[in-house]
Amino acid sequence: MRLSKICTIIIVITFMLLINPISIYADPPYTTVTEDRNGRLVYTQTAYEPILIIDNINTEEEKITLRDPEDIFIDKEDNIYIADTGNGRIVILDSNRNYIGSIGEGILKEPTGVFVHENKDIYVADYRNLKVYKFNNNGELLDSFGKPDSPIYGKNMPYKPKKVVVDKRGNLYIIGEGSTNGVIQLSSKGEFLGYFGPNSSKFSLKMLLQKKFFTEEQKAQLIKNIPPSPNNIAIDKNGIIYTSTQGIDNQQIKKLNVAGRNILNSKSYASKTIIAIAVDKNGNIYSVNQHGYIFEYDRQGNLLFSFGGSDMGDQRIGLLKNPSGIAVDSSGFLYILDKDRNNIQVYKPTDFAILVHNALNLFHEGLYIESQNLWGKVLKLNSSFDLAHKAMGKAYFKQQKYKEALIEYRLANDKQGYSEAYWEIRAQWLQANLPKIIILVIAISIGRVILRFLSKRYGFGRGLKRKMKKVKEIRIVSELLLTTKFLKHPIDSFYSIKFEKKASILTATILYIILFIEYIFVISNTNFIFSNVDIINLSIATECAKVYVPLLLWVVANYLVSTISDGEGKFSDVYKGTIYALSPYILFSGIIAVISNAITLTEKFIYHFSNQIIIGWSALLLFLMIREIHNFDIKKTFKNIFLTIFTMVIMIFIAYILFVLSRQVFDFIQGLLQEVKIRVQ
Amino acid sequence: MFNKKLLLVLLTVVLFINLSCPHFSYTSNHINDTEYMTNNYTLPEEKEIRVINNFIPENYEKVCESELLDIYINRKTLQMKIKDKRTGYVWDGTKEYEQVENENLNKTYKNMMQSPIVIEYFDKKNKLRKADFFSSEGVIKEFSNTSKGVKAVISLKAIDIQLSVHIELDNDRVSVTVPSNEIIEGKEYKIATIQLYPFLGAVKENNIPGYIFIPDGCGALIRFQEKGNRYDSPYVGRIYGIDEGISKKSIQANKVEPYQVTIPVFGMIHGTRQNGFVSIVESGEYNADIVAYQSGVITDFYWTTTTFVLREQYFQPTSKTMGGINTYQKERNNNDLKINYILLANEDADYIGMAKKYREYLINKGYLYIDKDLIESNIPLRLEFLGSEETKWLFWKKAIKMTSLKEMNDIIDDIYSYGIKNIVTIYRGWNKGGLHSNQPEKFPLERNIGSKKDLKVVKENLKEKDIPLYFYIDYTYAYKTSSLFSTRKDAARKISGDLIEPVLHNLQKTAYYISPKQTLNISEKDMTKYREYGIDNLAIDKTSNILFSDYNKLAKSTRKEAATVYQKLVSNYKDNGKEIALYTPNQYMFKSLDNYFDIPLYSSRYLFETDTVPFLQIALHGYINYFAPFSNYSASKEEALRLVEYGANPSFYLTKEPSYKLKNTASKYLFTSMYDDWKDTIIDQYQFVNNGLKYVINATIEDRQVLDGGVVKVIYSNGISIIINYTDNDYIYNGQVISGKNYRVFGGE
């Protein structure tokens, strides 16, 4: 679950933009979204419908209600166990939501976690008693697990069990409050086995600076940089442990192998306020967050569905006020515990969700071809369900239908898959066409030799040459072609700009425009496996700003700095010199963009290397430009560049301040006018 | 004397307690079908005890009577009781002191429950305060008989407010009216809201079995239950939706809004098929809420009423950064306040009886009439097509073609060739630039969907097949200024002076509301164009259900005036021979309606609601042709069964092109629409629904019985009944099997 902050912000924004559509089908009070190829959330069919609420539970004698329940668990026979925290008991319902009984009354004080083993033993984490209890199915106490006395556990380490799961061998995995080292792992006899799957602590530049410059007192005031402890835990039928952690930017959900290492590597969105997780028999992961949003991921961590929402006085079935637990039964029904409303909401998977699940199951079992049919159906129902394209791509790939695979992977924005499929296609093509290519290359080189010979000997094509020369003599053309000269003779060329007036302002301006056009060409034509640009959502204004604002700042700042430090260059020289220094970009980046389309991820160094060359080259030319135009020595040139950059930063800073100030003044005046208007009325 | 009275009260109380002893819990033995025992369906009726209340205190006197009802009034306080002669049941318009003194209530509520009128007013400091007859030292200044009932002038001395209440009786109908011109306010206190006899029929917990009916979605019930989980707040539904000219519509991310109240009706039942009333707000409904309190919200009582809003509070911003003041409307909403209570007895006393009474009311008002002598043998299928939509493309905007005129023509031909001959076609996004682009400017046709000539060809083809073609428009939203629309002149403004800028879901551009008074100009200009292009029928969205007051100085209008304008707009088109279809119209738009699109089939499913009932459908079936919302998003068996049960015609939203092309447009919610993908489902679903509903096309729904959880019998006026079985198991009815997830038609043929 890796995701940079910016991505999160973008997703939050998109979330906000997905505001209530036209009354699609107003049964559930929420919309359902899935993730598209670009990681954006898009609408999809209702995946889960809220069907009913369990609140008043009828026992034989009376009606009971839950009080601040904290956890819910469903066993293999679909019996439901609820940690009725406020009432100090575990309430058990059968699969038809009828009351079976309750256990632990008198023993439990604040049960916050409940788990039922395959052998029907019931484990309960009691937060107030600081113990994990083990009951048999009849509610008789079998064992209890207090704080381990092993020295490895640490004497000062708190033991406040909140949640518990148990693996097949009977080892306990306990989530303890403040247990920052990870999940507490105990053997079936209560011996401390170690910590499991710890979170790593965050590290940032700010912290580094604080560490460096803060006094001891100041440091003590800072919150200790300790890793967050996981807040919930689940275990699947294969004994794989899943944990959830709040307040971190990535890896909110972890799928831990035996060694305690996270094996979930997904870029899908996960919530920072995650409360609880559950795993179904197929390995699909469910989570619910503080705001009542429910997320379902497949076993690889791809977001399938997100739905739900916060009950902010809406009082509508399907919204949650303060969710505290989630569980899933064998038919895929979701049970979500609400500790403010003291109820359980039951969500039923729709036909669409079931279809997606079936397709996923076949796919993960390796039955790609069988799954393809179902994915086709999914796409019929929602053509933006891009996970289907990914699966289809893989299915085609396995069948060696690379062209179809390529198309599907492109639709799914799956760079790895696309690259692999392309590699195969290219290999096939090369195999088929290699002889032809070799012949073509030979033919061209022979042809060139012959042509040269002919023109030397018989003046073949002299007319064309003459015409070319004439064209080259046109002032603008020659000035534009000056860019090529920079590649061979940069120093001379700058000299010729400065003294021989070989470049005019007009040409430079044209070049600046060409630069922008080329920039757009590059971002829109680079192979998508190397770029992250979403063409459709480009705005001309921002792209323009991205290109021209830095250039303008550079030119102005450099001119200002140079005038002070005895630079010889005029403003027009800097203006012209800068764009000519960018000749490598103008000449080559377009070509590289085109070539990138024939490159796969295995050869990505070619692409990156050539781009670095262009950048390095341009930087070098800029350096030379400053030296030549202002007639500096090397030391002075460096100083000048440093000062220019510094000036640029200052300029941005001032612009920002001016902007903020002017806006405040504007707001103030507007407010004043508005108020006057109202008062007069 | 006093002892005698006390004895009587005690007796009734004891009687009550005894009778209501058996508690009614709605968890029955059908455990496997718990899903159908939820508020998404209607619960089967349980056997209920006979409810009795015949106590009328001595200080009440009979002031008027009809063949069916007697009205008793306490002349000193205007407290009222209504006696239904059919059952002998007495409805408490107000509670007696003895009835509330031992309840867990604060003094305010004790007073309110006895009061014929409850008022909210603004005091000198703009603070909202509550008052009732007793707490504000009310006196009856004048009491007189009128031709049909009585008139009383109430003076609330403490807050210097005087108003008169007219109570009239007509057969089974009691109407309570407060004429606007007879409300006299002093200088200091200004009325905010008025409730008339708010506690009429109020019930504590489940002391009396029954329910409240609220017009949420297609209709919902709140059954009286014993103490259980408590909810935070009452149901408050603004009739005809929030007034965006005054209040801000609260829109929350990822939430689907609850249904808007489109009909001004609510009701209450005391004992199913025993006693009940349905209330229809006849005047003042443009500024009123329907409220329903559940037991546990403030008091232990269930009660429902209408809150008439005379002055609304609003926020007046004084700066862009959220600064501002809270204030209220200076001018009072000048409407008479009138509620009709129609009393129901015996077999009429349930939500079905309420719906039938409401139907009668609509017929009497001229809103419903049968004008089609044409008898169809198959139900219509609604197919909507999206022509083109605006999208961002690189740096510009362009219209993307989704379905051209010719493609639409081919699709209809194709469907037609499968024997589906009764089709209603709607074409969206035909205007220049695509669906969400230049409105209110509409012409010429968007280039990529075809030309005028193509339109002609399509029209001829459809005419031959007798398929109507509607053009989708609205006269509410404006996306772009043009010669037809300027923000200064033609855009609606809020009371605060700002433009109303409705939040458009996922549309990253500003939109405005067109001033209602300017819509007639625009529509007149459009009319000539429609004629030129041969556009005959219009499907009007948004204008059919969005109602707001407009404070644009050049074209000021209240909600009521706006409604009149919209009525006129539609009737103008009708006079020009155009057929009109409306999307989820509010009641005032029922008049000139040929087709009703997107009829709600569900309720908002509030936690306190116990049932969803097809109230709207019972009222309209047989009179108005209504269509379900699009089935694209949920074309399941259950959805199809719901259509059959609710008598709703099926609808689909289609495109020729794959829907992912719409991903970056305002139509991105349409993620599944390609005809090739949907063809089979459309045919299947149509056949499935048609095979049942074709027998009842012009019949009205006369009765509806829930036989079991998830099994419903609907009885039509032509003697045909349909039993719908939502469950997975077969259901046996009178020896006949209705298989699981299926239905069966009885009678007729």
The DSSP annotation for A361-396 comes to HHHHTT-HHHHHHHHHHHHHH-TT-HHHHHHHHHHH
- Kindly tell me the sign of the dihedral angle through the C-alpha atoms of A622, A627, A628, A631: positive
Q: Once rounded to an integer, what is the mean pLDDT over residues A512-528? A: 89
* Cis status of the peptide bond prior to B614, with omega within 30 of 0: no
CA dihedral B343, B349, B352, B355 (to 10 degrees): 10
DSSP letter, residue A202: P
> pLDDT digit string (tens) for A58-81?
888 888 889 999 999 999 999 999
The pLDDT score that the predictor gives to residue B335 is 92
B231, closest residue in chain A (CA to CA): A315
> pLDDT digit string (tens) for B199-210?
999 999 889 999
* Cis status of the peptide bond prior to B444, with omega within 30 of 0: yes
Provide, as residue numbers in chain B, all residues whose Cβ is less than 8 Å from the Cβ of A350.
Answer: 634, 636
Of residues B35, B600, B633, nearest to A24 (C-beta): B633
The pLDDT score that the predictor gives to residue B414 is 96
Cβ B300 vs Cβ B106: under 8 Å: no
**Residue B550, Ramachandran bin (φ over 0: left; ψ between -120 and 50: alpha; else beta):** beta
- Please check whether residue B127 touches A, CB under 8 A: no
Largest CA distance in chain A: 115
Q: Which residue has the tokens 């551009």?
A: B509
Interface touch A383/B629, C-beta < 8 Å: no
Interface touch B25/A58, C-beta < 8 Å: yes
Largest CA distance in chain B: 89
Interface touch A58/B27, C-beta < 8 Å: yes
Cβ B707 vs Cβ B723: under 8 Å: yes
- Angstrom distance (rounded) from CA B298 to CA B234: 9
- Is the pLDDT assigned to residue A55 strictly greater than 80? yes
Strand segments (E) across A552-679: none
Mean pLDDT of chain A: 86
The pLDDT score that the predictor gives to residue B229 is 67
- Kindly tell me the sign of the dihedral angle through the C-alpha atoms of A186, A191, A196, A199: positive
User: pLDDT band at A12, cuts 50/70/90?
Assistant: very low
Provide, as residue numbers in chain B, all residues whose Cβ is less than 8 Å from the Cβ of A56.
Answer: 228-229
On the 0-12 / 13-18 / 19+ scale of CB atoms within 10 A, B613 is buried
Distance from CA of A517 to the nearest CA of B (A): 13
Return averaged pLDDT per consecutive 10 residues of chain B, 749 residues in all.
48 40 34 72 89 91 94 94 95 92 89 95 91 93 92 94 95 95 93 96 93 96 83 92 87 83 97 96 96 92 96 82 80 93 95 97 91 77 94 78 95 95 94 88 90 93 94 92 85 90 68 92 91 92 94 91 95 89 95 92 93 96 93 84 95 92 84 91 94 93 94 94 94 92 85
List the one residue out of A241, A294, A298 whose CA is nearest residue A271. Answer: A294
How many Å from the N-terminal Cα to the C-terminal Cα in chain A?
57
Q: Containing H/E element for B178?
A: strand B173-178
Read off the amino acid at residue A586.
I
| Beta bridge pairs of residue B143 | B152
B675, closest residue in chain A (CA to CA): A380
- Is the pLDDT assigned to residue A658 strictly greater than 90? yes
What are the percentages of helix, strand and coil residues in chain B, rounded to 5? 25, 30, 45
User: pLDDT band at A7, cuts 50/70/90?
Assistant: very low
- Is the pLDDT assigned to residue A174 strictly greater than 90? yes
pLDDT, greater one: B227 or A160: A160
Interface touch A51/B606, C-beta < 8 Å: no
Interface touch B319/A675, C-beta < 8 Å: yes
Q: Radius of gyration over alpha carbons of chain B, in Å?
A: 27
B321, closest residue in chain A (CA to CA): A667
Tokens of B180: 């606007």
The set of long-range contacts for A471-477, using a CB threshold of 8 Å and a minimum separation of 24, is A475/A504, A476/A504, A476/A506, A476/A507, A476/A510
- Please check whether residue A546 touches B, CB under 8 A: no
On the 0-12 / 13-18 / 19+ scale of CB atoms within 10 A, B730 is exposed
Among A120-124, A586-590, A671-675, the least confident range: A671-675
B633, closest residue in chain A (CA to CA): A45
The pLDDT score that the predictor gives to residue B480 is 84
Optimal mutation site among B254, B321, B400, interface A, most CBs of chain A within 10 A: B254
- Angstrom distance (rounded) from CA B428 to CA B747: 40
Interface touch B255/A55, C-beta < 8 Å: no
> pLDDT digit string (tens) for B666-723?
888 888 899 999 999 999 999 999 999 999 998 999 999 999 989 999 999 999 999 9
Selection from A6-15, A92-101, B243-252 with the highest mean pLDDT: A92-101
The DSSP annotation for A99-127 comes to EEEEE-TTT-SSEEEEEE-TT--EEEEET
On the 0-12 / 13-18 / 19+ scale of CB atoms within 10 A, B1 is exposed
Q: Once rounded to an integer, what is the mean pLDDT over residues A149-155? A: 83
Name residues whose C-beta falls within 8 Å of residue A258's C-beta, 6 or more positions apart in sequence: none
Q: Which residue has the tokens 């630079």?
A: A567
- Angstrom distance (rounded) from CA A310 to CA A663: 35
- Is the pLDDT assigned to residue A5 strictly greater than 60? no
Interface touch A315/B321, C-beta < 8 Å: no
Distance from CA of B679 to the nearest CA of A (A): 11
The pLDDT score that the predictor gives to residue A19 is 36
- Please check whether residue B233 touches A, CB under 8 A: yes
Read off the amino acid at residue A154.
G
Of residues A17, A26, A97, nearest to B259 (C-beta): A26
Provide, as residue numbers in chain A, all residues whose Cβ is less than 8 Å from the Cβ of B317.
Answer: 674
Optimal mutation site among A12, A24, A319, interface B, most CBs of chain B within 10 A: A24
Distances (CA, A) of B53 to B82, B83, B90: 11, 9, 5
A40, closest residue in chain B (CA to CA): B663
On the 0-12 / 13-18 / 19+ scale of CB atoms within 10 A, B6 is exposed
Q: Using DSSP, state whether B140 is helix, strand or coil.
A: strand
Of residues A15, A18, A538, nearest to B394 (C-beta): A538
pLDDT, greater one: A358 or A63: A358
- Please check whether residue A38 touches B, CB under 8 A: no
CA dihedral A487, A492, A494, A500 (to 10 degrees): -130
Tokens of B172: 């089974």
On the 0-12 / 13-18 / 19+ scale of CB atoms within 10 A, A442 is exposed
Distances (CA, A) of B342 to A99, B276, B278, B562: 44, 8, 5, 29
Q: How many CB atoms lie within 10 A of CB A343?
A: 23
How many Å from the N-terminal Cα to the C-terminal Cα in chain B?
67
Optimal mutation site among B35, B231, B505, B607, interface A, most CBs of chain A within 10 A: B607
> pLDDT digit string (tens) for A321-353?
999 999 999 999 999 999 999 999 999 999 899
The pLDDT score that the predictor gives to residue B509 is 66
Q: Containing H/E element for A247?
A: none
Among A587-601, A666-680, B573-587, B691-705, the least confident range: A666-680
- Please check whether residue A407 touches B, CB under 8 A: no
- Angstrom distance (rounded) from CA B206 to CA B226: 5
> pLDDT digit string (tens) for A210-269?
777 777 777 666 655 667 888 999 999 999 999 999 888 888 899 998 888 888 877 788
Interface touch A55/B317, C-beta < 8 Å: no
- Angstrom distance (rounded) from CA A384 to CA B634: 17
Interface touch A27/B505, C-beta < 8 Å: no
On the 0-12 / 13-18 / 19+ scale of CB atoms within 10 A, A506 is exposed
Cβ A663 vs Cβ A671: under 8 Å: no
